[in-house]
Amino acid sequence: MKTSIATVSVSGNLREKLAAISAAGFDGVEIFEQDFIADDRSPREVGQMIKDHGLEITLFQPFRDFEGLPSPFREKTFDRARHKFDLMQELGTDLILFCSTVHPDSLGGIDRAAEDFARLGEIAAAQGIRVGYEALAWGKHVNDHRDAWEIVRRADHPNVGLIVDSFHTLGRGIDPNSIRRIPGDKIFFVQLADAPKIDMDLLFWSRHFRNMPGEGDLDVTGFMASVIATGYTGPISLEIFNDQFRGSAPKQVAQQGYRSLINLMDDVRRQEPEAAIDLPDMPERIDVQGVAFVEFASRGDEARHLEHTLKTLGFVKVGQHRTKALGLWQQGDIRILINEQEGDLAASMFNAHGTSVCDIGLAVGSATDTAKRARALGGDPFSQTLSPGQLDIPAIRGLGGGVMHFLDDSQALGDVWTVEFDHLASPDHSVGLKKVDHIAQTVSYDEMLNWSLFYTSLFAMKKAPTIDVTDPDGLVRSQALQATSDGLRITLNGAETHRTFAGSFLAESFGAPVQHIAFTCDDIFEAAQALVRKGFEPLEMHANYYADLNARFDLPAATLKKMQTLNILYDEEAGRAFYHLYSRPKEGALFFEILQRDQSYNGYGAPNAPYRIAAQKRLMRAKGMPRK
């Protein structure tokens, strides 16, 4: 299977684009003519530069407004084509994309267009060029791949074929199964893009909102399964126009693209088992069973502050690593590590971000399979020198510089806590925190799609619809992801401005992604009282908030009063209750949340977020945020 991406999908100049595309693992590139024209090298030199990057040109595009023109435009358009064919020979590629015309003078007529393509096929054949015809969703006369195919069929020339593009087909709601009726050898090329479902002008939607397969709402898997069913064996190429990607680092977008393509083809292979897809074998998406540990990088006074916070949350230091400056804190099934080891990854994370989460350990069915799928998707394996007695636990680099370890029940890994740590004390269960409910990560808005694809391609997780959270100083987009068996919940918050609480966290921590960790308990009133006894300082909620709760929900006065005393927030969904409270933001604006959820309440108390953020900001303004 040959993987490819259009140069227009990635930011930077042509050389930067090629370097990023090659490094991400692609086999080829579609050369977007504008990228070529903007470069100062000759066509031959550009062709050589592409080869030097280990890439081949899979397609040259676009040629616009060709078919169905009256004289004298018609003659001119053939001359224009001859000129482009010469250029392609210099570049070293033989396939060009012709998109359906939007020319105001074009006449339409399937046979007229077929005649034009038959004649073009002759010119192309003489120069060893193949022509692919694509129906633009907003084409003047042809906006449906079924009509484009009819034109190609009637042109009946070996050098003329069809190009299908998932956006143009799915964006117009055309059934992709109709592609199954087209012979595979007449499909010259396949372009893929996803998009969020937004009701807007097709052209504007296409130019600004396309995204990688798996990041939007279109059935790109069904589309690709139809293409593969025809026997198509050519390149599979991404053509993404997206404002966010244009502003992101080329390397990141190329990696994201590669991940999405491999992930998609793996899905297609599972959906269409008869099809021959030449893709290395990989385990299917991994179901996360739970959060095994959360590790903080910290040092000195900050580490002592964090330990104090953990104590007030009812955690006990139960272990000390035998060879590293690494303390283990526990309560219920929650394990928190504080890593102060010099020369470790944690040390570089601390230097870059201050006290921050540097590692997340996930409990999975098979750690080896998880690492294998992560690598197949282009993920970087992570390893560091093991100290004596330390177990070699499979790990990858997560996004934002952190690490993710995978733990399973295999003999070697089952006992990491007893093998590597000296036992200091037993956990105290008086507060009653049980497990990690969710981990909230804050990223810049531009990186949200990348992060959510990271999780949904590697793990069996479903996405909730994106919601907007109102910060007094701007909007924060929030996307929740939940593992199939509920072993992992992640909320991704995309900050667009540094004036928001999430944005200032991002700025102050230089991109350290975990902003808060939420723990579950069975009885939040008991937990909150136990916390007070431990000296825990809750985030204070004001009377106006409780007056509003009183108006919105049917809560007994005594309960409401207790909630106010204990600073407990409340939400419900179809009668299912959700109670939560927050710590005050501490080291690097990090904070903790304690919650009690009815089993079928699936949210995160989003309606309370504006009031929680306002309370956090009041604290920030009154006292200034704790600095590193």
The mark string for 310-339 relative to Mg ion (x by CB under 5 A, - otherwise) is: ------------------------------
Kindly state the smallest distance separating residue 99's Cβ from Mg ion, in Å: 7
Least Å from the CB of residue 134 to Mg ion: 5
CB of 160 to Mg ion, least distance (A): 17
Least distance (Å) between residue 440 CB and Mg ion: 5
Question: Per rule CB under 5 A, is residue 252 in the interface with Mg ion?
Answer: no
Nearest residue relative to Mg ion (C-beta): 165
Annotate 21-36 with b (16+ C-beta within 10 A) or e (fewer).
Answer: bbbbebbbbbbbbebb
242 Cβ neighbours under 8 A, 6+ residues apart: 9, 208, 209, 210, 211
Q: Measure the CA dihedral 382/386/390/391, to 10°.
A: 40
Instruction: Give the nearer residue to Mg ion in terms of CB position, either 165 or 344.
Output: 165
Q: Say which residue the tokens 């709760």 belong to.
A: 549
Q: Please, what is the minimum distance in Å from the beta carbon of residue 373 to Mg ion?
A: 28
CA-based nearest residue to 559, from 548, 570, 543, 573: 570
Interacting residues with Mg ion between 529 and 548 (CB under 5 A): none
The answer to whether 448 and 479 have CB atoms below 8 angstroms apart is yes
CB 206 within 8 A of CB 167: yes
Number of Cα atoms under 13 Å in the Cβ half of residue 627: 2
Least distance from C-beta 89 to Mg ion, angstroms? 23
Beta carbon nearer to Mg ion, 50 or 518: 518
Contact in structure between 504 and 442 (CB atoms under 8 Å): no
Residues 508-527, mask of contacts with Mg ion (x by CB under 5 A): ----------x---------
Closest CB to Mg ion among 145 and 269? 145
Closer Cβ to Mg ion, 226 or 370, answer by number: 226
Give the angle 623-627-628 at the CA atoms, nearest 5°. 160
CB-wise, 191 or 441, nearer to Mg ion?
191
Write the single-letter amino acid at 553: F
Nearer to Mg ion, 35 or 344 (CB): 35
What is the SS3 assignment for 542?
coil
Cβ proximity to Mg ion: between 32 and 350 the closer is 32
The two tokens of residue 140 are 């003047």
Measured from the CB atom, the residue of 165 and 420 that comes closer to Mg ion is 165
CA atoms within 13 A on the CB side of 438: 23
**What is the sign of the dihedral through the CA atoms of 561, 564, 568 and 573?**
positive
Looking at the Cβ atoms of 285 and 438, the one nearer to Mg ion is 438
Minimum distance, C-beta of residue 114 to Mg ion, in the bound complex (Å) = 21
Per-residue contact string for residues 109-148; x = within reach of Mg ion by CB under 5 A: ----------------------------------------
CB of 514 to Mg ion, least distance (A): 11
Total residues interacting with Mg ion, rule: CB under 5 A: 6
Q: Applying CB under 5 A, does 571 fall inside the site for Mg ion?
A: no
The per-residue DSSP string of 278-292 comes to: -----PPPBPEEEEE
Considering the complex, what minimum distance in angstroms separates the CB of residue 54 from Mg ion? 24
Closer Cβ to Mg ion, 223 or 604, answer by number = 604
Residue in this structure with the two tokens 């007529």, named with its chain if needed: 109
Map residues 209-248 to x or -, x wherever contact with Mg ion holds by CB under 5 A: ------------------------------x---------
Please, which of residues 142-201 interact with Mg ion by CB under 5 A?
Answer: 165, 191
DSSP label of 62: E
CB of 237 to Mg ion, least distance (A): 9
Nearest to 566 by CA among 593, 539, 589: 539
CA-to-CA distance for 120 and 139, rounded, in angstroms? Answer: 20
Q: Are the C-beta atoms of 408 and 454 separated by less than 8 Å?
A: no
DSSP secondary structure letters along 314-380: T-EEEEEESSSSEEEEEETTEEEEEE--TTSHHHHHHHHHSSEEEEEEEEES-HHHHHHHHHHTTPP
Closest to Mg ion by CB, 406 vs 604, is 604
Residue 481 Cβ, how far from Mg ion at the closest point, in Å? 13
33 is a contact residue toward Mg ion (CB under 5 A): no
Site for Mg ion in 594-613 (CB under 5 A): 604
Residues within the interface to Mg ion (CB under 5 A): 165, 191, 239, 518, 593, 604
